């Protein structure tokens, strides 16, 4: 190996710019992301829809509450993609114990409503720490970054709401013969089960499309924070160089 062949390009990046790079990561590895995570999203959607007879509002609530659990599969794919490893559903299935079931109670309780869960999820899922060390690590990476992480979370929550409203608007707009108003009145006054099913399907589509970008944005912000604190990118360059 020639040391002069080693090239490291360093440039400070803001957390907002880092989140943009996360979106690019999903676009680059879109096939692995949706091919691997699509079946997981599909199973969750079917299970949620099966509860519509219990309460019309329950399917949407289940999908909403299980999003952090779904995010774990997306992060698994993205963490491998970062090192150039394509992922299939078989890979996810083999790692299901650590990806799906590890830290499940915390994922669905304390961390469900965290405004920076996408930013801190890699700490919990990828670093393998627990107890006091985990709390200290989370505080270290979050220090001075809570506003940026919360703002990113708010942007995606707003985008999710707008897309859901937009899907309903498209249905009304595409109603034949100017019947959009009549369709809307029929939808809101018809059987609650049918309305819930349509609303849940629209919400599930939005989550399927948007959630990988949300996870990737938080993951990229996490990596950017590690670069600031630990020069993580330089370490990876040296590992690649000396393994060649």
pLDDT in tens, 193-205: 666 777 788 899 9
The whole-chain average pLDDT of the chain stands at 80
Mean pLDDT value across residues 40-64: 89
Does the pLDDT value for residue 210 go beyond 50? yes
pLDDT digits (tens, 9 = 90+) for 54-95: 888 888 899 999 999 999 999 999 999 888 888 999 999 999
Mean pLDDT value across residues 135-144: 86
Give the chain's end-to-end CA distance (angstroms, integer).
Answer: 7
Return the structure tokens found at 212: 């990988």
Does the pLDDT value for residue 216 go beyond 90? yes
pLDDT at 89: 94
Contact status, residue 123 vs residue 157, Cβ threshold 8 Å: no
Distance CA 231, CA 153 (A): 25
Contact status, residue 26 vs residue 209, Cβ threshold 8 Å: no
More confident residue, 229 or 208: 208
pLDDT band at 226 (very low <50, low <70, confident <90, very high): confident
More confident residue, 214 or 177: 214
Model pTM score? 0.83
Contact status, residue 124 vs residue 103, Cβ threshold 8 Å: yes
Does the pLDDT value for residue 4 go beyond 50? no
Return the structure tokens found at 146: 């809570």
pLDDT digits (tens, 9 = 90+) for 97-110: 999 998 899 899 88
pLDDT at 67: 94
Torsional sign, CA 43, 64, 167, 48: positive
Does the pLDDT value for residue 120 go beyond 80? yes
Q: Quick count: other Cβ atoms within 10 Å of Cβ 195? A: 15
pLDDT digits (tens, 9 = 90+) for 156-175: 999 999 998 887 777 666 65
Does the pLDDT value for residue 8 go beyond 80? no
pLDDT band at 20 (very low <50, low <70, confident <90, very high): confident
Mean pLDDT value across residues 25-51: 91
Contact status, residue 9 vs residue 236, Cβ threshold 8 Å: no
Q: Out of 37-51, 113-127, 174-188, which region has the weakest mean confidence (pLDDT)? A: 174-188
pLDDT at 231: 57
């Amino acid at each position: 190996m020639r040391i002069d062949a080693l090239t490291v390009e360093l440039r400070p990046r803001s957390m907002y710019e880092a989140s943009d790079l996360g979106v690019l990561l999903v676009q680059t590895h879109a096939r692995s992301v949706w091919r691997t995570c699509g079946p997981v999203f599909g199973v969750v959607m079917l299970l949620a829809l099966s509860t519509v007879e219990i309460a019309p509002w329950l399917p949407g609530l289940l999908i909403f509450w299980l999003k952090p659990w779904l995010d774990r599969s997306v992060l698994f794919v993205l963490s491998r993609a970062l090192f150039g490893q394509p992922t299939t559903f078989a890979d996810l299935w083999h790692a299901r114990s650590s990806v799906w079931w590890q830290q499940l109670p915390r994922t669905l309780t304390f961390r469900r409503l965290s405004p920076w869960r996408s930013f801190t999820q890699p700490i919990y899922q990828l670093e393998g720490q627990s107890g006091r060390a985990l709390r200290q690590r989370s505080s270290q990476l979050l220090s001075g970054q809570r506003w940026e992480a919360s703002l990113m979370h708010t942007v995606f929550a707003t985008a999710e709401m707008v897309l859901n409203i937009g899907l309903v608007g498209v249905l009304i707009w595409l109603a034949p013969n100017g019947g959009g108003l009549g369709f809307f009145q029929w939808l809101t006054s018809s059987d609650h089960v049918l309305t819930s099913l349509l609303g849940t399907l629209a919400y599930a589509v939005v989550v399927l499309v948007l959630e990988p970008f949300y996870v990737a944005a938080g993951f990229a912000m996490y990596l950017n924070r590690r670069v600031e604190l630990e020069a993580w990118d330089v370490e990876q360059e040296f590992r690649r160089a000396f393994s060649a």
